[in-house]
Amino acid sequence: MALVPPHGGGALKPLLLTGAALEAEKKAAAGYKKLEITTREACDCFMMGIGAFTPLSGFMGQADWKGVCAEMKMANGVFWPIPITCSAGDEDGVNVGDKLALYCDEFGGLIATMDVTEKYEIDKVFEAKNVFRTDDKEHPGVQKVYEQKKFNIAGPVKVVSEGGFPDEYKGIYATPAETRAIFEKAGWTRIAAFQTRNPLHRSHEFLCKIAVEVMDGVIIHQILGKLKAGDIPADVRVNAINALVDNYFVKNTIVTKGYPMEMRYGGPREALLHAVFRQNYGCSHLIVGRDHAGVGDYYGPFDAQKIFLEIPAGSLVIKNLNIDWTFHCYKCGGMASLRTCPHGKEDRLLLSGTMVRKTLSEGGDLPAEFSRPEVVKILQAYYQSLEEKVEIKLHGAATGDVK
């Protein structure tokens, strides 16, 4: 058996230039009109650069944007769940036909170049309601939509930077070509991806171990881009996950890697985007548990599982590996799920990343059932080092109210 094919039916499509072509494009960019882009847009460039957003060749035009928002497919019929766009305002003076040098100061300057083929006005409410199922500006993904400038600009891009991710996260950061090579060397074809923006607590560990039982292996795939206030920084999370894997997983069953995207906190739609680029990374399955890619109480706990039943057949080759609500049950004497535990909620300790962050940020102690001691030690040191505390609010999925 072979690895799953990249999304869209063709080969991986990395847009990152190398060698003489890279140097030539950097030199040419000095003569292009300059546009400062957001960190989210820069990270989308990085994802296109490494081929994670195969088969995209650049930022989406109006037909693709509208089709993705409304029907989760591009104008050519290829499935895609969240628009990948770049915005500009009147003040930027961008016109169709321009060659742009895309800059992002937070990532050291020049990110990519772009040939502008379209410029169209954005209906932000339409995008928010279709993609995020809400136009509430308190939702962090919706907030980013409303922060976009007046127009989307579209066209093919040539990526000239990886934003420092390969050096900052050496050994963790990986391209789809690199993970595919790892899987092929290991002889794996059934690989489950576990998406995380949090250090792993015992429930996450349990999900991964369930997958290890039925797959050739699991990739713990961490997001390395900017997160919302209160989330644990990527470098701290990397150390915590490494401590867990080194001490509590069988060697050669787990691969730990990261990717340079920003979270949109889009719940069901983002779960589908996670599936799209995990297919590009060579994964056959995506673990989808409770409140995947959600935030607050905007989505039901299993909406991200249900949406895989709503998309047309053939949209994806990768499959979702659904796992029910998991928790520590005192009567069972260990980790369990709603499918395996017959006891009541009074016997259960629900484990959530939000609860971990809130407890430790307030200087509290976690029950031993919550997280491994090696992980807790790393997280406690991080919270003790903070000069300013961020208030972390509990939402419904984190309160332990399991029926």
> Which amino acid is present at 225?
G
The whole-angstrom separation of Cα 116 and Cα 61 is 10
pLDDT at 77 over 70: yes
Cα separation, 36 vs 88, whole angstroms: 9
Does residue 95 carry a catalytic annotation?
no
DSSP 344: -
Which position among 198, 202, 237, 264 bears the catalytic label?
Answer: 198
Task: Read off the pLDDT of residues 8-67 as tens digits, 9 standing for 90 and up.
Answer: 999 999 999 999 999 999 999 999 999 999 999 999 999 999 999 999 999 999 999 999
CB 226 within 8 A of CB 39: yes
Residue with tokens 């999925």: 397
CA dist., res. 307 & res. 309, Å (int): 5
Task: State the average pLDDT for the chain.
Answer: 93
Task: Provide the token pair at 148.
Answer: 């976009």
- The string of pLDDT tens digits covering residues 116-151 is 999 999 999 999 999 999 999 999 999 999 999 999
- What residues contact 226, with CB distance under 8 A and at least 6 apart? 39, 40, 43, 262
CATH number of the 170-259+265-398 domain: 3.40.50.620
pLDDT reading at 323 higher than 80: yes
Do residues 224 and 172 lie in contact, with contact meaning Cβ atoms separated by under 8 Å?
yes
- pLDDT value at residue 124: 97
What pLDDT shows up at residue 358?
78
**At 39, which amino acid appears?**
T
Q: What is the pTM of this model?
A: 0.93
- Pairing, β 151-159 against β 58-59: antiparallel
Look at residues 194, 210, 189 and name the one whose alpha carbon lies nearest to residue 324: 210
Q: Which residues, in sequence order, are CB contacts of 301 under 8 Å at separation 6+? A: 290, 291, 325, 397
For 338, counting Cβ atoms within 10 Å of its Cβ (0-12 exposed, 13-18 middle, 19+ buried), the class is middle
3-state helix, strand, coil split of the chain in percent (to 5) is 35, 20, 45
The answer to which of 276-285, 298-307, 331-340, 384-393 has the lowest mean pLDDT is: 384-393
- Cβ 278 vs Cβ 258: under 8 Å: no
Q: Which of 40, 180, 197, 290 is catalytic?
A: 197
17: nearest Cα among 115, 114, 159: 159
Looking at the domain that runs over 19-163, which CATH code has it been given? Answer: 3.10.400.10
Q: Exposure string (b/e) for 90-102, b if CB count within 10 Å is 16 or more? A: eebebeeebebbb
Helix axes 234-248, 373-385, angle to 10 degrees: 160
Residue type, 293: A
pLDDT for residue 303 is more than 80: yes
Tens of pLDDT along 211-226?
Answer: 999 999 999 999 998 8
* Whether the Cβ atoms of residue 267 and residue 289 lie closer than 8 Å to each other: no
Domain ranges (residues) in the chain: 19-163, 170-259+265-398
Indicate the SS3 state at residue 24. Answer: helix
Tokens describing residue 208: 């991964």
As a whole-number percent, the residues of the chain with pLDDT over 70 amount to 96
Q: Per-residue confidence at 390, pLDDT binned at 50, 70, 90?
A: low
**Residue 316 in tokens:** 């994806």
C-beta neighbour count of 10 within 10 angstroms:
10
Q: Tell me, what's the pLDDT at 1?
A: 82
Question: pLDDT confidence of 403, banded at 50, 70, 90?
Answer: very low
For residue 402, the model assigns a pLDDT of 43
Residue-level pLDDT at 398 = 46
Q: How far apart are CA 214 and CA 250, in angstroms?
A: 14
Which of residues 227 and 169 earns the better pLDDT score?
169
Dihedrals phi, psi of 44, to nearest 5 degrees: -65, -35
